[in-house]
Structure 1
Amino acid sequence: MVQAQVLETPTRRQPASPNLIEILALLSRRNLPMTFLRLARKYGDVVHVKGGPLEIFLLSHPEDIREVLVVQHANFHKGQGVQMTSRMLGQGLLTSEGDFHKRQRKLIQPAFHRQRIAAYATTMVEEASRLAQSWQDGAVVDMAEEMMRLTLVIAGKTLFNVDVEREASTVSQAMAVAMEAFIKIGLSPWAEQLERLPLPIRRRFYRARDEMDRVIYRIIEEHRRSGRDQGDLLSWLLLAHDEEGAMSDEQLRDEMTTLLLAGHETTANALAWTWYLLAQHPEVAKRLRQEVVQVLGDRLPTADDFSRLSYTEQVLAEAMRLFPPAWSIDRTAIRDCDIRGLTIPSGARIIMSQYVVHHDPRFYPEPDRFLPERWTPEARAARPKFAYFPFGGGPRLCIGEPFAWMEGVLVLATLVRSWEAELVPGQRIEPEAAVTLRPRYGIRMRLHQLQRAAALV
Structure 2
Amino acid sequence: MVSLSKTQPSHNYPPSPKGHPFLGLLPEYSRDPLGFTTKCAKEYGDVVFWKLPLSPAYQLNHPDYIEEVLVTKNSQFIKHQSLQILGRMLGNGLVTSEGSFWQHQRRLMQPAFHRERIFSYGEVMVDYTKRLLPTWSRGEIRDIHEDMMGLTLEIVAKTLFGADVATEVENIGKAMQVSIEYFESRNTNFLLYLLPDWVPAPHNLRFQKAMQQMDQLIYGIIQQRKQSNEDAGDLLSMLLQVRDENGVGMSDRQLRDEVMTLFLAGHETTALTLSWTWYLLSQHPEVEHKLQAELETVLGGRTPAIADLPQLTYTEKVIMEVMRLYPPVWAMARKVLHECEIAGYPLKAGDGVFMSQWVMHRDPRYFDEPEVFNPDRWSEDLAKKLPTFAYFPFGGGSRICIGKSFANMEAVLLLATIAQQFRLTLIPDQQIVPWPAFTLRPKYGIKMMVN
Q: Bin the TM-score by the shorter chain.
A: over 0.9
Matches within 5 A, 1:290-301: 290-301=293-304
Distance 1:347 1:191, change over 3 A: farther
1:154-193 CA distances to partner (integer Å, 9 max, x unpaired)? 1111122222122224312321221121011134456651
Matches within 5 A, 1:35-434: 35-51=36-52, 53-188=54-189, 192-195=193-196, 197-244=199-246, 245-434=248-437
Match for residue 435 of structure 1 among 430, 438, 444: 438
Q: Distance in 2 between matches of 1:420 and 1:182?
A: 34
Which secondary structure does the structure 1 equivalent of 2:121 belong to?
helix
Q: Is the 8 A contact 2:37 2:359 kept in 1?
A: yes
1:27 is aligned to: 29
1:8 is aligned to: none
Q: Distance in 1 between matches of 2:152 and 2:315?
A: 18
TM-score, normalised by the number of residues in structure 2: 0.93
What is the Cα-based RMSD across aligned positions, in Å?
Answer: 1.7
| Runs (4+) off by over 6 Å | none
What is the Cα deviation at residue 25 of structure 1?
Answer: 5.8
Moved more, 187-196 or 117-126: 187-196
Distance 1:25 1:88, change over 3 A: closer
Q: Distance in 1 between matches of 2:395 and 2:372?
A: 23
What is the Cα deviation at residue 219 of structure 1?
Answer: 0.5
Q: Distance in 2 between matches of 1:263 and 1:188?
A: 28
Moved more, 18-27 or 83-92: 18-27
Moved more, 102-111 or 340-349: 340-349
Q: Is the 8 A contact 1:67 1:73 kept in 2?
A: yes
What is the Cα deviation at residue 266 of structure 1?
Answer: 1.7
Which secondary structure does the structure 1 equivalent of 2:177 belong to?
helix
Q: Is the 8 A contact 1:374 1:380 kept in 2?
A: no
Q: Is the 8 A contact 2:16 2:49 kept in 1?
A: yes
The structure with higher relative contact order (CA 8 Å, sep 6+) is 1
What is the Cα deviation at residue 241 of structure 1?
Answer: 3.0
Q: Is the 8 A contact 1:77 1:333 kept in 2?
A: yes
Q: Distance in 2 between matches of 1:309 and 1:189?
A: 47
Moved more, 132-141 or 270-279: 132-141
1:372-404 CA distances to partner (integer Å, 9 max, x unpaired)? 112224322321111011110111111011100
Moved more, 338-347 or 312-321: 338-347
Q: Distance in 2 between matches of 1:247 and 1:188?
A: 36
Which secondary structure does the structure 1 equivalent of 2:329 belong to?
coil
Which secondary structure does the structure 2 equivalent of 1:246 belong to?
coil
1:111-137 CA distances to partner (integer Å, 9 max, x unpaired)? 000111111111100111122222111
Q: Distance in 2 between matches of 1:13 and 1:280?
A: 46
1:218-254 CA distances to partner (integer Å, 9 max, x unpaired)? 1101111111222322112212334253222111100
Distance 1:28 1:96, change over 3 A: closer
Q: Is the 8 A contact 2:63 2:389 kept in 1?
A: yes
Moved more, 381-390 or 328-337: 381-390
2:7 is aligned to: none
**Unaligned stretches of 5+ residues in structure 2:** 1-10
Q: Which amino acid aligns with 2:437?
A: A
Q: Distance in 2 between matches of 1:27 and 1:378?
A: 35
Moved more, 240-249 or 115-124: 240-249
Which secondary structure does the structure 1 equivalent of 2:309 belong to?
helix
Q: Which amino acid aligns with 2:242?
A: A
Which secondary structure does the structure 1 equivalent of 2:17 belong to?
coil
Aligned pairs, number: 436
Q: Is the 8 A contact 2:30 2:189 kept in 1?
A: no
Q: Is the 8 A contact 1:241 1:247 kept in 2?
A: yes
Q: Distance in 1 between matches of 2:266 and 2:122?
A: 15
Q: Which amino acid aligns with 1:334?
A: L
TM-score, normalised by the number of residues in structure 1: 0.92
Q: Is the 8 A contact 1:143 1:443 kept in 2?
A: yes
Q: Is the 8 A contact 1:80 1:191 kept in 2?
A: no
Q: Which amino acid aligns with 1:239?
A: Q
